[in-house]
Amino acid sequence: MSTETLRARLRLPGLDATNGVWPALAVALIVGGTLVALDGGSLFSESSTISLLQRAAGLGIVAVGQTIAILAGSLDLSVAYVISLTSLVAAETMAGSDGMVLPAILLVLVVSAVIGLVNGLLITKLRINAFIATLGVGLLIKGYLEQGYAGPAGSVPVSFQHLGYDRLGPVPLSFLLFAAVAAAVWFTLRSTRYGHHLIATGGDLDVARLSGVRTDRVLIRTHVICSLCAGIAGLYLASRLGAGAPRVGAEGGYDLESIAAVVLGGTVLAGGRGGVTGTVGGVLLLAVIDGVFNQLEVDSFFKQMVRGVVIVAAVAVYALRLRRTSDRRKAAVA
Amino acid sequence: MQPDSDQPLLRMRGVGKAFFGVRVLDDVDLDLHPGQVHALVGENGAGKSTLMKIASGVYQPDAGTLELSGKPVTLPHPRAAQAAGIGIIHQEFNLLPERTVAENVFLGREPLRRGLVDRRAMHARTAELLAGVGETAIAPQTRVGRLGVAQQQVVEIVKALALDARVLIMDEPTASLAEHEVELLYNLVRRLQQRGIGILYVSHRLTEVFDLSGRITVLKDGRRVTTLDTAEATPDTLVRHMVGRELSHYFPERAAPGSAGAARLQLAAAGNGRLRPVDLELRSGEVLGIGGLQGSGRSALARAVFGIDGFRTGQMLLDGVPVRVRSPRQAVRAGIAYVTEDRKGEGLALSQSVLDNALLAQRAVQPRWFARAARTTTVRELLDAVEVHAAGTGQEIRYLSGGNQQKVILARWLAMKPRVLLFDEPTRGIDVGAKAAIHDLIRRLADDGAAVLMISSELPELIGMSDRIVVMRDGAIAGELPAGASEEAVMGLATGAATSTEVPA
Over the stretch B463-476, which tens digit does the pLDDT of each residue have?
889 999 999 988 89
Interface-testing mutation among A207, A267, A328, with chain B (most B C-beta atoms within 10 A): A207
Task: Report the sign of the C-alpha dihedral through residues B309, B315, B317, B321, in that order.
Answer: positive
Find the largest Cα–Cα distance for chain B. Answer: 76
Digit-coded pLDDT (tens) for B404-421:
888 899 889 988 889 999
Interface-testing mutation among B96, B147, B163, B293, with chain A (most A C-beta atoms within 10 A): B96
Residues in chain A: 334
**Burial (Cβ within 10 Å: 0-12, 13-18, ≥19) of residue A301:** exposed
pLDDT given for residue B498 in this prediction:
62
Interchain CB distance below 8 Å, A193 and B110: yes
Q: Å from A268 to nearest chain B CA? A: 11
Digit-coded pLDDT (tens) for B155-184:
999 998 888 889 999 988 887 777 778 888
Across A319-333, B101-115, B244-258, which has the greatest mean pLDDT?
B101-115
Distance in angstroms (rounded) separating the CA atoms of residues B241 and A112: 65
pLDDT bin (cut points 50, 70, 90) of residue B369 is: low
Interchain CB distance below 8 Å, B94 and A210: yes
pLDDT given for residue A109 in this prediction:
97
CA distance to B399, B424, B433, B439, per residue, from B402 (Å): 9, 14, 11, 14
Distance in angstroms (rounded) separating the CA atoms of residues B399 and B353: 10
| Interface contact B116, partner A, CB < 8 A | yes
Q: Does domain A46-326 have CATH number 3.40.50?
A: no
Q: Å from A67 to nearest chain B CA? A: 16
Backbone angles phi and psi of A14, in degrees to 5: 75, -15
Please give the single-letter amino acid code of residue B54: I
Q: SS3 of B90, please?
A: coil
Q: SS3 of B109, please?
A: coil
Which residue(s) pair with B317 in the sheet?
B266, B322
Distance in angstroms (rounded) separating the CA atoms of residues A291 and A33: 10
Interface-testing mutation among A7, A211, A215, A269, with chain B (most B C-beta atoms within 10 A): A211
Backbone angles phi and psi of B255, in degrees to 5: -65, 145
| Interface contact B342, partner A, CB < 8 A | no
Q: What is the DSSP string of B471-493?
A: EEETTEEEEEEETT--HHHHHHH
Residue B396 gets the label, from left (phi > 0), alpha (psi -120 to 50) or beta, of beta
| Interface contact B404, partner A, CB < 8 A | no
Interchain CB distance below 8 Å, A4 and B141: yes
Interchain CB distance below 8 Å, A211 and B107: yes
Chain A residue closest to B299 (CA)?
A334
pLDDT given for residue B399 in this prediction:
85
A147 compared with B490, residue with greater pLDDT: A147
Mean of per-residue pLDDT scores for chain B: 86
> How many C-beta atoms lie closer than 10 Å to residue B88's C-beta?
25
pLDDT bin (cut points 50, 70, 90) of residue B497 is: low
User: Is the model's pLDDT at B500 over the cut of 70?
Assistant: no
A296 compared with B118, residue with greater pLDDT: B118
- Per-domain boundaries in chain A: 46-326
What's the complex ipTM? 0.84
Backbone angles phi and psi of B288, in degrees to 5: -100, 120
B101 compared with B493, residue with greater pLDDT: B101
Digit-coded pLDDT (tens) for B199-220:
999 986 778 889 999 999 998 8
User: β-strands B451-455, B420-424: how paired?
Assistant: parallel
Interchain CB distance below 8 Å, A8 and B139: yes
HEC sequence for B275-328: EEEEEEEEECCCEEEEEECCCCCHHHHHHHHCCCCCCCEEEEEECCEEECCCCH
Q: Å from A188 to nearest chain B CA? A: 9
For the B262-335+419-505 domain, the top CATH level (class) is alpha beta
Q: SS3 of B448, please?
A: coil
Q: Å from B160 to nearest chain A CA? A: 10
> How many C-beta atoms lie closer than 10 Å to residue A309's C-beta?
10
pLDDT given for residue B222 in this prediction:
85
Asked whether A101 and A205 are in contact (CB, 8 A), the reply is: no
| Interface contact A333, partner B, CB < 8 A | yes
| Interface contact A8, partner B, CB < 8 A | yes
pLDDT given for residue B3 in this prediction:
45
User: Is the model's pLDDT at B340 over the cut of 50?
Assistant: yes
Residues in chain B: 505
Digit-coded pLDDT (tens) for B15-73:
999 876 677 889 999 999 999 999 998 865 678 888 999 999 888 999 999 999 989 99
B384, HSE (Cβ side, Cα atoms, 13 Å) = 6
Distance in angstroms (rounded) separating the CA atoms of residues B99 and B403: 34
> How many C-beta atoms lie closer than 10 Å to residue B263's C-beta?
17
Q: SS3 of A123, please?
A: helix
- Where, residue-wise, is CATH 3.40.50.300 in chain B? 10-247, 262-335+419-505
Interchain CB distance below 8 Å, A212 and B273: no
Q: Å from B179 to nearest chain A CA? A: 14
- CA-only gyration radius of chain A, Å: 20
- Neighbour-count burial for B183-222, b at 16+ CB within 10 Å, e otherwise: ebbeebbeebbeeebbbbbbbbbbebbbebbbbbbbbbeb
Q: Tell me which architecture the domain covering B10-247 has in CATH.
A: 3-Layer(aba) Sandwich (3.40)
Task: Give chain A positions within 8 Å (CB) of B297.
Answer: 334
Q: What is the pLDDT along chain A (334 residues), one digit of tens a residue?
A: 444 444 444 444 444 445 778 888 999 899 988 988 988 888 888 888 898 899 899 999 999 999 999 999 999 999 999 999 999 999 999 998 999 999 999 999 999 999 999 999 999 999 999 999 999 999 999 999 999 998 899 999 999 999 989 988 889 999 999 999 999 999 999 999 999 999 999 999 989 988 889 999 999 999 999 999 999 999 999 999 999 999 999 988 899 999 999 999 999 888 999 999 999 999 999 999 888 888 888 888 888 888 888 888 888 888 787 776 665 555 444 4
Nearest to A245 by CA among A57, A66, A90, A54: A90
CA distance to A89, A165, A166, per residue, from A162 (Å): 18, 5, 5
> How many C-beta atoms lie closer than 10 Å to residue A179's C-beta?
18
Task: Give chain A positions within 8 Å (CB) of B119.
Answer: 191
User: Is the model's pLDDT at B444 over the cut of 80?
Assistant: yes
Interchain CB distance below 8 Å, B117 and A193: yes
Chain B residue closest to A6 (CA)?
B141
CA distance to A4, A72, A203, A325, B140, per residue, from A8 (Å): 6, 23, 20, 18, 10
Q: SS3 of A326, please?
A: helix
| Interface contact B496, partner A, CB < 8 A | no
Interface-testing mutation among B141, B296, B309, B457, with chain A (most A C-beta atoms within 10 A): B141
